């Protein structure tokens, strides 16, 4: 049994970014950059009016004034004439400021009288016009050549807008790992099964893990479930090894029918982790089938809470690392416990909890009462895993601990109650 830290170290040591590929803007969101992105010109590229109104010389409006309108400048056009003393040019938001003008005034603060514009309009009391008023100077946002996005960051929707702004219609990103998922267990049946014998249960894990991978933006093949039979298992593993990352649930414990480890080894998978000091999820397995494109195999314990926990703690950072994320270790925000948690033994506990935002802005964690690692109804309510260190004993309510966020983290308010209570 090795520690959570040592397990993560062994996994992240081997999960290097996959090959680089080039994608268009439509595919860039959620992908991880493999190149730095620079400004190809100043932003804005010209002194830009921030308003619909008039380009003026601020000095001409010291005590208000009446200016002759000599031009009209729409966005996308260059001014045709300079603005001289006593003159103005009608200008639209986003249009370049004419030569001679040093500021812009809002149309709402003016009245038009034929070829003239009067500022301020009667009854209006706008602030005095200083040079630079309502104008964004060339390069004020970004200088040409400045680094805007760095290799190793995930592209957000705003990032796509930025790529578009600087003309990066195609961008280098890491290839996304293709995942394959299947469950093992003689007891498993398809979720659509209506007539289950008492000892049979529906396969939750292959669906849960596939859904999690999809939520992370990965292409997934779900291979269903295999019986606890070395032959069947070997066939399904062979087909799963066509992916970059293979998730297997179940069959990694000490039971008489837990064949996953020997069958993986026979399929050429070198096992680097076979038991971890984590609660739940101790039987977690990690291995690699080396080759020109290595396959990373995660053997998740069959208990759904263990499967989800070990996926989040070990597989998720690996999936980020394979995509080139600079720091793939998940954030560990501090949360204030609303109820005590405990961990006596040498394992590190990751306990399902509901984290909300308290009125004072702090994050609070309500541990979800659970019947243990088979309790999928408990983990389905969680939006975080509260981390209780090895040998921590009991940590009382009011103390703070670290948590690993899950989807839905955090609740907007702290008023969350376990509906099962
Ligand atoms: P195992 O890791 O195969 O020993 O399974 C541990 C527990 O998890 C047993 O109670 C199994 O019935 C249950 N289990 C295994 N696989 C699944 C699955 N895919 N969906 C739901 N429960 C499962
Ligand atoms: Mg089993």
CA of 106 to the centre of ligand 2 (A): 71
Q: Do the beta carbons of residue 399 and residue 371 sit within 8 Å?
A: no
Determine whether 230 is exposed, middle or buried from the number of CB atoms within 10 Å of its CB (0-12, 13-18, 19+): middle
pLDDT at 413: 74
How high is the pLDDT of residue 400?
98
| Residue found by looking up tokens 């590190």 in the block | 348
Q: Ligand 1 centre and the CA of 303: distance in Å?
A: 5
How high is the pLDDT of residue 62?
93
Nearest-angstrom CA–CA distance, 384 and 406? 5
The two most distant CA atoms of the chain are separated, in Å, by 94
Mean pLDDT per block of 10 residues along the chain (421 residues) reads 98 98 98 98 98 98 95 98 98 98 98 98 95 98 98 98 98 98 98 95 98 98 96 98 98 95 98 98 98 96 98 98 96 97 97 94 94 94 98 98 96 81 78
Q: Does any ligand 1 atom lie closer than 6 A to the CB of residue 227?
A: no
Its pTM surpasses 0.85: yes
Q: Considering every ligand atom, which ligand is closest to the CA of 208?
A: 1
Q: What is the reported pLDDT for 414?
A: 67
CA distances from 399 to 339, 340, 342, 394 (A): 9, 8, 12, 10
- By most ligand atoms within 8 Å of CB, the mutation choice from 197, 249, 373 for ligand 1 is 249
Q: Environment class of residue 57 by beta-carbon count within 10 Å: exposed (0-12), middle (13-18) or buried (19+)?
A: buried
CA of 294 from ligand 2 middle (Å) equals: 27
Q: Which atom of ligand 1 is nearest to the CA of 228?
A: 3
- For residues 54 and 107, the answer to whether their CB atoms sit within 8 Å is yes
CA 132 to ligand 2 centroid distance, Å? 71
Residue whose Cα lies nearest atom 7 of ligand 1: it is 303
Over residues 345-384, the pLDDT tens digits come to 999 999 999 999 998 889 999 999 999 999 999 999 999 9
Contact present, 269 and 289 (Cβ < 8 Å): yes
């Amino acid at each position: 049994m090795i520690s959570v830290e040592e397990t993560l170290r062994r996994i992240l040591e081997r999960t290097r970014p996959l090959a680089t590929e080039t994608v268009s803007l439509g595919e860039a969101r959620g992908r991880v950059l493999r190149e730095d992105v620079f400004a190809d010109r100043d932003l804005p590229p010209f002194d830009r009016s921030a308003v619909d109104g008039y380009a003026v010389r601020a000095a001409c409006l010291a005590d208000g004034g009446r200016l002759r309108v000599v031009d009209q400048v729409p966005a996308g056009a260059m001014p045709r004439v300079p603005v001289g003393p006593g003159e103005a040019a009608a200008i639209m938001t986003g249009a370049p400021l004419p030569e001679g003008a040093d500021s812009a005034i809002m149309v709402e603060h003016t009245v038009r009288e034929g070829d003239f514009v009067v500022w301020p309009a009667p009854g209006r009391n706008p602030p005095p016009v200083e040079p630079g008023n309502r104008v964004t100077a060339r390069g004020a946002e970004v200088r040409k050549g400045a680094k805007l996005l760095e290799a190793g960051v995930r592209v957000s929707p705003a990032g796509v807008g930025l790529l578009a702004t600087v003309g990066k219609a195609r961008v280098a990103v890491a290839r996304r790992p293709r995942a394959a998922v299947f469950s093992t267990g003689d007891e498993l049946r398809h979720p659509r099964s209506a007539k289950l014998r008492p000892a049979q249960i529906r396969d939750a894990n292959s669906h849960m893990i596939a859904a999690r991978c999809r939520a992370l933006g990965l292409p997934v093949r779900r291979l269903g479930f295999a019986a606890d039979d070395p032959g069947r298992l070997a066939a399904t593993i062979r087909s799963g090894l066509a992916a970059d990352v293979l998730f297997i649930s179940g069959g990694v414990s000490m039971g008489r029918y837990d064949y996953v480890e020997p069958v993986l080894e026979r399929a050429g998978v070198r096992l680097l982790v076979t038991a971890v000091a984590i609660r739940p999820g101790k039987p977690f397995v990690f291995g690699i089938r080396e080759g020109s494109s290595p396959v990373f195999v995660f053997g998740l314990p069959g208990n759904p809470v263990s499967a989800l926990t070990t996926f989040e703690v070990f597989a998720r950072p690996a999936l980020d690392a394979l995509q080139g994320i600079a720091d793939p270790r998940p954030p560990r925000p501090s949360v204030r416990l609303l109820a005590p948690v405990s961990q006596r033994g040498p394992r590190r506990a990751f306990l399902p909890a509901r984290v909300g935002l308290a009125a004072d802005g702090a994050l609070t964690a309500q541990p979800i009462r659970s019947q243990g690692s088979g309790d999928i109804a408990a983990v389905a309510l969680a939006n975080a895993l509260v981390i209780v260190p090895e040998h921590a004993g009991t940590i009382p309510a009011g103390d703070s601990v670290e948590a690993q966020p899950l989807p839905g983290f955090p609740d907007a308010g702290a008023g969350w109650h376990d509906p099962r209570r």
